[in-house]
Structure 1
Amino acid sequence: MNHLTPNLDTRALHGHALTPDRTHHTRRQSHARPRMNMNMNMMKKLLQLWLLAVILVMPGWARATCTGGTAGGGGALNLGTFNQNASIGALTSQPSQAIAVTFNPPLNCTPGTTLRILGGGDASGPYNGPPAPNNQINAYPTSVPGLWLQVVLTADTGGQNAGSSVSVSGSVSQLWITNAAILKNGSFSVGTFSGNFYMYIYDEANNPILAPFIRPINGTVASATCTVTTPSIAVSLGAIPLSQFTGVGATSQPSQSFNIQLQCSGQVPAQMILYTLTDQTDPTNVGPWLNLTPGSTAQDLGIQVQTSGGYLVGYGPDSSVVNNTNQQFGSWVQAGGGMVTIPLTARYIQTGSSVRAGSANGQATFTMSYQ
């Protein structure tokens, strides 16, 4: 802000009569005001130019999008056969399928446009509800209750650099939708199913590029189960000399082997068996060793379980949900079922500095999950 200084007649300092010089005072003010107005006008012009620059630049950035084009192509998407007993959130379809989406006439996209694929359970718009089962990304519900489809968008048949978005420029006549898997989020009856999957293509500013296009889906649900044929397994670790426990982290030798056996049946494609071990002494235990039971007389020891590959098995909640804490891969079950063996080993581990001799027992449960 400009400040005006009063024009004081310095003759008053020499004993002359102090008579205000109104003409001089007015003249000084009249010189100051134009300067102030000029400065303000310059500021206004600069402000107008700056705003004009923003108005001229921003629309080109905000309107990176595509126009024209009508989506089509492709037939029904067969999701194959999956297990009725698959866990909630399980990825139940193994092979991916690349589906061509053609645009006739082609889309006309400005350089640097990013397109996104969205899905939904109906024609009202992209799904905007609770997250997918097990928080799987790029997954959307179909019109089949409880059945979700996980999809990605790519610019080529091989699915290279596939994801939820793809960059395009110029004329675009074809994109590819790849279904990575399907997710179960409900109970299904054995038999065939059919429905629709609605897909939408949006630009990065969340503007719809096309009307939703529908992909018919179908598949088969089969029953496949596995029964544990070794419901109770006693593993004897033997009498271990105290001399083996030389400090925290020391383990007993040799480890003792044992197997969990399953009998599986049902006509489904190859599927994974996952399992979780739960500490019965402390069900909240998510650590790498099993706590000793309250009746044990030994001290500062735990029990470690390892896979046949030598990996430590951690403990987790008694749950079959996919991605349960410390859930482990057990084995593949081939189509048609059969006997499945999960080989494991057990050993003691020193957990404290004051190991005491005595009985050292542990108890764990085995929870199975299909995927």
Structure 2
Amino acid sequence: MIHFFRGRQTASLMRVAMVALLVVFFKDAWATGGACSGGGQTFTITLPATVSVPRDAAVGSLLTTWVASPAATNYWSCSENNDNGLVYAKMGPLFTASSGVNTTYSGATVAVFNTNVPGIGVAVAANVATLNGWAGWQVLASGTTLSYFGYGPFSGSWAGGSRVAVALVKTAAQLTSGGTVSGGQVAYVYPATSYNAGYQYTNLSVKYVTTPVNIVPLTCTTPDVNVPMGTFKTTDFPNVGSLSSNPASFTVQFLNCPAGAAVSGTQAGVIHSIQYRIDPTSGTLATNVAALIGTPSATGVGIQLFTASGSVFPLSTLQSLSGYNSATGGNYTIPLTARYYRTGTVTAGPANSTMTLTVSYQ
């Protein structure tokens, strides 16, 4: 009895072991239903060596045209056995931090990633080819999230390929300084087999690298201006609205404005337009009359500006720099005059004011 019982127990253990072996064998046969070879290429996407950027160009402005790598469908050769074939595209490793800005390329919304130059981003789009043909341009979501394009299940052989396009994009409202955008690998693409990419052939990656780009902010030089207003008596302003005699003449200067040629389809190459405004530091006492600063100070008067034609210059209002020529650049001046303007009861004292010139380059 005891001998018989032990024999049955041994047979049961053998059957269990055989079943376990069959399960392992079956799983292994399914998972190795495909294999890939090929890849290893590195493609250089050549961007412009220098890009001139208007300092205040709109966020999201395209700064280079899109540059795409060659299109080929035979970078990899893969085989499947009732399995799924996939091609993965991944961002990086050079730039992987999202800027929060998007652009578009060939109908696809493409995320823009921060580069090493503040205010300048890079957009990368990928397109891959499988048995289904070209998948269409797709955004590469991040440095750690894979985008995949695939088909299946399928049994047989297939060839795969890829293509990547790159552009630079402005990501900040104001470009405060230039610099060189580093060159390096911005994306890579590789094949995989089995459902959920059980086998990813990262060793067969096709890599895409970009060339360095020097970023040059475009601005004019705007020197500070000191305007001597002269000395006046309180009796020189008999009524509210009275103006001082002897207007003080001065000019607002835009010097060394750069010239260039616009890059078609982008906001790069030249300053397309210049706008400016003059804002009183301490606000206004009346419409277009700047308040005085300092303690002690005269009261009952402010400062009003006038154009060369004698009309009141509108404060805190954007004006276009007329006559500006982006093709020639150069120096430009705006002639103005300043006069005291009575706003109330006038008392003697220093009568100083400051104003700020703000310039917008588009």
TM norm structure 2: 0.39
- Which structure has the larger Rg over C-alpha atoms? 1
Q: Which has the higher strand share?
A: 2
Relative contact order higher in (CA < 8 Å, ≥ 6 apart): 2
TM norm structure 1: 0.39
Q: Which has the higher helix share?
A: 1
